[in-house]
Amino acid sequence: MDWLQGFFLHPVSLYQGAAFPFALLFNYLCVLDSFSTHARYLFLLAGGGALALAAMGSFAVLVLTPALWAAVLIAWLGPRDVHRWAFFFQMSWQTLCHLGLHYTEYYLQERASTRFCITLSSLMLLTQRVTSLSLDICEGKVKAASRGIRERSSLSDHLCKALPYFSYLLFFPALLGGPLCSFQKFQARVQRSSNLCPRHSVWALSWRGLQILGLECLKVVLGKVVSAGAGLTDCGQLQCIRVMWSTAGLFKLTYYSCWILDDALLHAAGFGPGFGQSPGEEGYIPDADIWTLETTHRISLFTRKWNQSTARWLRRLVFQHGRAWPLLQTFAFSAWWHGLHPGQVFGFLCWALMVEADYLIHTFARSFIRSWPMQLLYRTLTWAHTQLIIAYIMLAVEARSLSSLWLLCNSYNSVFPLVYCILLFLLGKRKHTFN
C-alpha cells in the first residue's frame, strides 16, 4: 500500500533538528548590541542557503532562483502591480516543478528522489511567503521599497534595500516547514533584541519535545497495528472502515509531530509567540491544534484548524477575493498549490462539498434539536461521521496512484461522504424552496 511508504523516515525532520543549534545561536546573538540588523539578515539568509544545499543538493537552485526573482520583483515593482506579477511568476514556476514530478511518477513510473520532494515542499512554503508579502505591499501593510530602488545609487545600496526581502523569503527556521510568518513579524523580530526568558524558552522547547516523543511512540504502536492488519486491497466490507481510520490516524500523527517540530524551531530562533506582533495584527498561529482537531464534530471547524496558518493564507489569498463560489475556488486553488495529483483533485473537491454540507446540516440541526440528550447523541454521531469523512479525504489526498484512489472509492468508506452529499442536495433544495 503506497500510503504507508515513508511514514517512519522523515529527512525533513532530521534537517530541522540539525538547524536547532543555529536557531538558538541566532536567538543568543540577538541579545548582543554588536550583532547589527544587517548581520542578522545575513545570518538568516546564509543559514537558509546552507540548509537548502544540505537538504536539497543541486535541486536547491529550484528554490533559490524564484526567491531571487521574487525579491527583485517585490523591490522593483509598484504596490499596484507587485502582487499580480509575483503570484503569476511563483505559481508558474511551482507548477512547472510539479509537472516534473508528474512526469517522473506517472510517465516514467519511477519514484522521485527524496531531495526533489523536499525541494517541492520548500517551494510551496516559499509561495506562501512571496504572496503574503506581495499582498501586504498591495494592501499598504508593508511600505514598498520600489521608489528607493529605482533611484540612482550604488549597487551596495540596492542590495541593502533588497536584503530584508531576500532574507525573509529564505530564512532558515521557516525554509523547510513551520507556520507562515508575516513580513512585519519577521522584520520586527530581526530589528528587536531578544528578550526571551531562558527558563521560559527551555520549558517551552522541553514541552514540545515531550509532545513529539509521545506522538512518535503512538505512531510506532499504530504503525505496527496497521502493518499487521489487512490493507484496502484485501480488507472485507466493514473491516475497510477500520483500515481507513487507522491509516488516517498515522497520517495525522505524522503531521502533528512535524508541525510541533517546525513550531519548536521557530520558537528557538525567537519567532514564536510574543515576538514582533504589531498592533491589530493577529497573534502567533501554530499549525497544530490537536485537541480541537480530534474532538470537533464539525468539518468546517476542522478545516479552519487543520494547518491553521495555511488555512488563513488561503482564505486571505483566494476566499476573500472570490466573487462566485469562493469556497470551491479556495479548494480548487489548494489542489493546484499541492500539485494537482488525481487524488488531490478528487480529495479537495470532495472536501469543499463536505464543508458546504456541514454548514447546511448543522444550521438545520440547531433549529430542531433542543433537548440535551438529543444534542449529546447528535454531537457523538456527527463527531464519528466527521472523523470518518476526514479520514476518507486524507487517504484520497495522499494517494499517489490511480489504483489506490480507485480502491478507496470502491470501498465501503465511500458511504460516509455520500451521505453528506445526499444531505447537501436535500437541504440545499429545501433552502432554495424556502428562499
- The crossing angle, in degrees rounded to 10, of helices 114-138 and 37-56 is 150
- Annotated catalytic residue, options 10, 338, 362, 385: 338
Q: Determine whether 338 is an active site residue.
A: yes
DSSP for 185-247, please give it: HHHHHHHS-----HHHHHHHHHHHHHHHHHHHHHHHHHHHHHHHS--TTT--TTHHHHHHHHH
Measured from the Cβ of residue 394, the count of other Cβ atoms closer than 10 Å reads 22
Q: Going by C-beta distance under 8 Å and a sequence separation of 6 or more, which residues neighbour residue 274?
A: 284
Q: Which DSSP state fits 139?
A: T
Distance, in Å, from the CA atom of 76 to the CA atom of 161, rounded to the nearest integer, reads: 11
Helices (H), 57-113: 61-76, 79-102
- Annotated catalytic residue, options 83, 98, 307, 341: 307
Distance, in Å, from the CA atom of 154 to the CA atom of 156, rounded to the nearest integer, reads: 5
Q: Determine whether 362 is an active site residue.
A: no
**Chain centroid to CA 136:** 19
Supply 361's cell numbers.
446540516
Which residue numbers are catalytic?
A: 307, 338
